[in-house]
């Protein structure tokens, strides 16, 4: 029993029923926070960063050669992937050649060694020092791969379509008739899930973009010393024509002499 000041007595249950305890605002706020945490969605698994859709030019909105916008976007994405792959190889090659790394054997039947080529200077000077026949072989092999990657029949044999006809940009047709396939010759991606392949492609695309900037920085630093302050003194200077596939040593080829005279660089 509990007196209430009026002479009457109440039980504990009657007392609690008439006088409700007050809940402080801080406790109420904490309870609402806990409720929000209980209903918060679980964290998502980490994924590759999305590719930026930055489009400073109207290229992606155009239709190249009278083609559809989808075909145009396929062309642009394929070109970006291809140039990114070339740039990644060029970046690594530039670093190795700049540090004197080369094969220990001869590169011609006349006895010219890779060491002789490396002694010419930086990577651009080493290209100029290559014999004309070596340059032609390299350019013809690149041209062959370029034609093969664009060939509809070769793509169909690999179960693929042309990238401007609904195919996947960046795909190179399989060469199963040779001992090792050009793409993934050791089968590292054979058991990889499609989700992981897509994430790897995003990584490749972003690395290719960085490599394109990197190799052009190397070329600029070699041609115009001081143009890239971070590379000042690290890149061997080059006085030749950085955009010319042939040099004065290849003047026996048709049109090369005139090309060198007309070069704006």
Residues annotated in a binding site for chlorophyll b: 85
Long-range contacts of 104-112 (CB under 8 A, 24+ apart): 107/134, 108/133, 108/134
Which ranges of 40-185 would DSSP assign to H, the alpha helix? Answer: 69-98, 114-118, 123-129, 132-150, 152-157
Contact 40, 32 (CB under 8 A): no
Q: Which residues are annotated as a binding site for chlorophyll a?
A: 80, 83, 204, 207, 209
**Residues 67, 164 contacting (CB under 8 angstroms):** yes
| Residue 183 dihedral angles phi and psi, to the nearest 5° | -95, 125
> % helix / strand / coil in the chain, to the nearest 5?
50, 0, 45
d(CA 176, CA 184): 11
Ramachandran category for residue 2: left, alpha or beta (phi over 0 → left; psi -120 to 50 → alpha): beta
- Give CA–CA dist 250/131, Å, rounded: 8
Binding-site residue ranges: 80, 83, 85, 204, 207, 209
């Amino acid at each position: 029993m509990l007196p209430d000041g009026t002479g009457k007595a109440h039980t504990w249950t009657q007392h609690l029923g008439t006088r409700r305890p007050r809940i402080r605002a801080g406790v109420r706020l904490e309870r609402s926070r806990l409720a929000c945490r209980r209903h918060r969605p679980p964290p998502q698994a980490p994924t590759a960063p999305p590719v930026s859709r930055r489009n400073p030019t109207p290229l992606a909105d155009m239709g190249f050669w009278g083609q559809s916008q989808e075909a145009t976007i396929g062309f642009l994405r394929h070109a970006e992937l291809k140039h990114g792959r070339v740039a990644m190889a060029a970046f690594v090659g530039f670093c190795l050649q700049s540090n004197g790394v080369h094969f220990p054997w001869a590169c011609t039947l006349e006895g010219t060694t890779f060491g002789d080529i490396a002694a010419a200077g930086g990577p651009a000077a080493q290209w100029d020092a290559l014999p004309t026949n070596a340059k032609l072989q390299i350019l013809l092999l690149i041209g062959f791969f370029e034609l093969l990657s664009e060939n509809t029949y070769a793509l169909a044999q690999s179960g693929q379509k042309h990238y401007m006809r609904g195919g996947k940009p960046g795909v190179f047709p399989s060469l199963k008739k040779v001992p090792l396939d050009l793409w993934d010759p050791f089968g590292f991606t054979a058991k990889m899930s499609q989700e992981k392949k897509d994430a790897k492609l995003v990584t490749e695309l972003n690395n290719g973009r960085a490599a394109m900037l990197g190799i052009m920085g190397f070329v600029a630093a070699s041609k115009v010393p001081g143009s890239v302050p971070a590379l000042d003194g690290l890149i061997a200077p080059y006085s030749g024509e950085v955009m010319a596939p042939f040099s004065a040593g290849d003047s026996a080829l048709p049109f090369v002499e005139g090309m060198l005279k007309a070069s704006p660089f």
